[in-house]
Amino acid sequence: MLTFRELSRNEVESVWNIDRREVIDHVYYFENGALVLKPEHYDMQGWNPHEAEHYTPILLDCFDRGGWFCGAFEDEKLVGVAVLDNKFIGRDKDQLQLKFLHVSRDYRGQGLGKKLFQMAAEKARELEAKQMYISATPSENTVNFYLRLGADVTKEPDPELFAFEPEDIHFECEI
């Protein structure tokens, strides 16, 4: 049975224990105002080796300013994580970024990603945000997941987040 609880600071690095393996056959591009799906093959055997080194300090900064880190555990094993930043962004400063959402390979397709997404949305509502902002990996599965959950490609990408991940698909989602 899965249990959900907030992570402590010294558990933040355990997000890299999530099984990131994934075979990707198609990737989305946002071109001339539309999502275009193109064949591109990646057989991801795990996290990019630089990802932990690069992204851990960013996650710890988020934790230290009060970001919300929620883990899904099977017994003691972390199998899914959602992170909601608490720094308001957007023209009206009413968006909070869903900073991280990953489900281990063998736990995908069973509703866990949706559950974590909904828990993050509930937290964002508590903090009085109007929308969640998502800079999403452009792989077909990830983008289709966010579209299914009602996210829309944003017309006003956050300049800093867009500069950081220009190939991502930048979504906003009413909550």
Ligand X SMILES: CC(C)(COP(=O)(O)OP(=O)(O)OC[C@H]1O[C@@H](n2cnc3c(N)ncnc32)[C@H](O)[C@@H]1OP(=O)(O)O)[C@@H](O)C(=O)NCCC(=O)NCCS
Q: In this chain, which residue has its C-beta nearest to ligand X? A: 113
Cβ at position 11, least distance to ligand X in Å: 18
Cβ at position 64, least distance to ligand X in Å: 22
The H-or-E segment that residue 61 falls in is: helix 51-64
Q: Are 36 and 27 in contact (CB under 8 A)?
A: no
CB closer to ligand X, 116 vs 128: 116
Cβ at position 161, least distance to ligand X in Å: 12
The H-or-E segment that residue 97 falls in is: strand 95-103
CB closer to ligand X, 87 vs 115: 115
The beta-carbon contacts of 170-173 under 8 Å, at least 24 apart in sequence, are 170/30, 170/133, 170/134, 170/135, 170/136, 171/133, 171/134, 171/135, 171/136, 171/146, 172/90, 172/95, 172/131, 172/132, 172/133, 172/134, 173/121, 173/131, 173/132, 173/134, 173/146, 173/149
CB closer to ligand X, 32 vs 35: 35
- Give dist(CA 76, CA 162) in Å, integer: 35
CB closer to ligand X, 101 vs 129: 101
Cβ at position 20, least distance to ligand X in Å: 7
CB closer to ligand X, 92 vs 105: 105
Chain contacts with ligand X (rule: CB under 6 A): 22, 101-103, 108-114, 136-137, 141-142, 144-145, 148
Cβ at position 140, least distance to ligand X in Å: 6
